[in-house]
Amino acid sequence: MATNNNIPLVVHLIYRLDFGGLETLLAQCVNRMPEQKYRHAVVCLTDYTEFAKKITRPDVEIFALHKSPGPGLGTHGKLWKLLRQLRPTILHTYNLSAIEYAFTATLAGVPIRIHAEHGRDANDREGKNRKYNLLRRLLTPFIDCYVPVSHDLQRWLRTTIGVPDAKNLLINNGVDMDSFKPNDSATYSDQRWRVPADSFVIGTVGRIQDVKNHAGLIDAFIRLQAQMPSEKARLRLAIVGDGPLLPAIKAKIADANIADATWLPGARNDIAEIIRTFSVFALPSIAEGTPVTLLEAMSAGLPVVATRVGGIPELVIDNVTGKLVPSNDPEALTTALAAYFRKPDLAAQHGAAGRERIERQYSIATMLSAYTALYDALCKTKTKFKETITPCAE
């Protein structure tokens, strides 16, 4: 396909393009950003999956560098050659796994380097790992702008990493509110997930990995069943997603003898339809930025029960749009879920308030406007495209 080389190219560098919140945001940005403003390419340090089909713009190329575990010094050489071939105006990296390649991009002559922090790993929940933070500090001179997705991450970049305010720009994650909207008459056609109309469905969506703490959600579900023996037949649990801990989660459910009340369908393309069948959305993570699945659930009008970690308290207003609980506390999680079971009117009230909050502050349009404005501003000051780019109005 012919391309207009007068339009700046943005290369998005990500560890792996797979089903997940960060990847969903990337796909939305690529698909929805005006084509006359920016071209895009996606480079995966490792590989990509069927999720790549979510990127629907026909002019977007996707590359896989097939990085092996470990330092992967050869990957720097591969990326350098690819960047010299593509000649992007912007390299946009995501999270710790990609940050070191800002230096490679500098050597390859990429004029603008942007790094986004969407959340910290489970093994470094508070961002205190000295090795990781030293790497971030050393790379700061090669990064034109850090983009945290929560005030929590922005404060951490400022106080712990030492990123100057001029390079530290908060951009809230956004959600497609047209796709994720309430539907009081929602049904789901999957024959493996047929529940009675009066069921109370506790649902969650996300990659099955330790940071999401699905095991804690299962413990809370078991406690809820024990507390409400007369209502046990109405209680259901849906854990949607794939990941390295899925076999362990399946085994835990089997050992607890609750398989008949649970559904684990793996990664799905029909999240918007599935999520509307939930009664409440649960997110018991031990670390987070601003979770996309939480935005989607609130946009769909669901009350949420989530842990008080990372950027979640900025999004969920306790006892207004949902309930916040401590991390790794199944008893508190159980109590919060039970409150919505016992008070359907409260669940509806909090769900409606959450939808309103998303509409005001976390729409996909607001997020796209902010990213476009950032690209515009940096292009205007650092590249030859400055005469042809009009900054996006806020």
The pLDDT tens digits for 9-34 are 999 999 999 988 899 999 999 999 99
Same fold across 9-173+363-387 and 200-361:
yes
| Tokens at 37, concatenated | 């403003």
* Placement of tokens 């996309």 in the chain: 292
The pLDDT tens digits for 183-236 are 755 555 565 667 778 899 999 999 999 999 999 999 999 999 999 999 999 999
| Tokens at 47, concatenated | 């590989």
Instruction: List Cα–Cα distances, 246 to 153, 242, 250, 264, 278, in angstroms.
Output: 28, 6, 6, 9, 20
| Tokens at 237, concatenated | 């649990």
* pLDDT tops 50 at residue 386: no
pLDDT-based confidence at 391, cuts 50/70/90?
A: very low
Residue 239 β-bridge partners: 204
Give the sign of the dihedral formed by CA 27, CA 32, CA 33, CA 38: positive
Of 32, 94, 85, 43, the closest CA to residue 65 belongs to 43
Q: Where are the domains of the chain?
A: 9-173+363-387, 200-361
The pLDDT tens digits for 347-366 are 999 999 999 999 989 999 99
Q: Among 3.40.50.300, 3.40.50.970, 3.40.50.2000, 3.40.50.720, what is the CATH number of 200-361?
A: 3.40.50.2000
Residue 202 β-bridge partners: 237, 280
pLDDT-based confidence at 6, cuts 50/70/90?
A: confident
Q: How far apart are CA 297 and CA 279, in angstroms?
A: 10
| Tokens at 287, concatenated | 């670390």
Task: Give the DSSP per-residue string, 137-201.
Answer: HHHGGG-SEEEESSHHHHHHIIIII---GGGB------B-TTTS---TT-----TT----TT-EE
* pLDDT tops 70 at residue 2: no
* pLDDT tops 50 at residue 114: yes
Q: What is the pLDDT of residue 124?
A: 86
The pLDDT tens digits for 290-326 are 999 999 999 999 999 999 999 999 999 999 999 999 9
Q: Among 3.40.50.2000, 1.10.3720.10, 3.90.1300.10, 3.40.50.720, what is the CATH number of 9-173+363-387?
A: 3.40.50.2000
Mean pLDDT of 136-158: 97
- The pTM assigned to this predicted structure is 0.84
Mean pLDDT of 273-279: 92
Instruction: List Cα–Cα distances, 298 to 92, 164, 198, 258, 352, in angstroms.
Output: 28, 33, 21, 27, 8
Q: What's the DSSP call for residue 343?
A: -
Q: What is the pLDDT of residue 382?
A: 87
